[in-house]
């Protein structure tokens, strides 16, 4: 996976790049502000951008919106110190494929990034729980959508596990199926809901009143 790192702290960038390269990722560039990130993405066409939120010239959230508008296939994961719900919700609404805090240890960080290649969102279970609670609270009045209603019971069950932050492997174990079966179901769900990622699919299902996640675990 080809990665661009965007962060205004050069020492942090150097540490992340060393970690990524040691893990087999190809780092194609590094920049120190949001405007430079947009320009580098258009020039280098990376598979993944690791983006800080607070940067000079242009914030990470502004850069995210522009990148997703111009190159929607590029995955962007916010890597930040901001634990603010508003930043989290805005990042996901704008198309981020994940939201990771810089307090993560190296093993957790790499596990989250490797999950992207399996179609998983790069978020811990704790962050996922916060996101789902926020979506649930803002969706108290179900919005009926015919595409959502076409989901099977099995697909709804799978989405519930996705909402709990479970990986494909964990979902496969919980449902006593193979990981390939989970991937097959997820592909169908994304197509039915016209969703770009798992988080967006869960959002649609919540707004349609098909998922009641008020008791989602707040663990990691």
pLDDT in tens, 68-102: 999 988 999 999 998 888 888 888 888 898 899 99
Which architecture characterizes domain 2-123 according to CATH? 3-Layer(aba) Sandwich (3.40)
The average confidence (pLDDT) of the chain is 83
Domain locations along the chain: 2-123, 134-207
Task: Report the share of the chain in percent with pLDDT over 90.
Answer: 37
- The 3-state DSSP class for residue 101 equals strand
220: pLDDT strictly greater than 50: no
- pTM of the full structure: 0.71
Task: Enter the DSSP assignment of 122.
Answer: B
CATH code assigned to 134-207: 1.10.10.10
User: Residue 96 CA to chain centroid, in angstroms?
Assistant: 5
pLDDT in tens, 90-136: 888 888 988 999 989 999 899 889 888 777 778 887 887 777 777 65
CA distance 14 to 19: 9
Q: Give the E-state strand segments of the chain in sequence order.
A: 2-6, 26-31, 48-51, 75-80, 98-101
pLDDT at 173 over 70: yes
């Amino acid at each position: 996976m080809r990665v661009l790192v965007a962060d205004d702290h050069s020492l942090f960038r150097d540490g992340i790049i060393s970690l990524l390269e040691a893990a087999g990722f190809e780092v194609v560039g590094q920049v120190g502000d949001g405007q430079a990130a947009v320009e580098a993405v258009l020039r280098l066409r990376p598979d993944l951008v690791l983006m800080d939120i607070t940067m000079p010239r242009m914030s990470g959230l502004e850069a995210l919106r522009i990148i997703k508008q111009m190159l929607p296939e590029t995955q962007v994961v916010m890597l930040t110190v901001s634990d603010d719900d508003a930043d989290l919700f805005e990042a996901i609404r704008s198309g981020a494929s994940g939201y990771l805090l810089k307090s993560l240890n190296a093993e957790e960080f790499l596990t989250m990034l490797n999950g992207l290649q399996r179609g998983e969102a790069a978020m811990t279970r704790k962050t996922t729980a916060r996101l789902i609670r926020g979506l649930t609270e803002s969706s108290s009045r179900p919005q009926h959508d015919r595409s959502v209603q076409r989901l099977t019971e099995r697909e709804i069950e799978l989405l519930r596990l996705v909402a709990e932050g479970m990986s494909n492997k964990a979902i496969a174990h919980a449902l006593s199926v193979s990981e390939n079966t989970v991937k097959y179901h997820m592909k169908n769900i994304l197509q039915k809901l016209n969703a770009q990622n798992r988080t967006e699919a869960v959002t649609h299902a919540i707004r349609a009143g098909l998922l009641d996640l008020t008791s989602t675990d707040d663990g990691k």
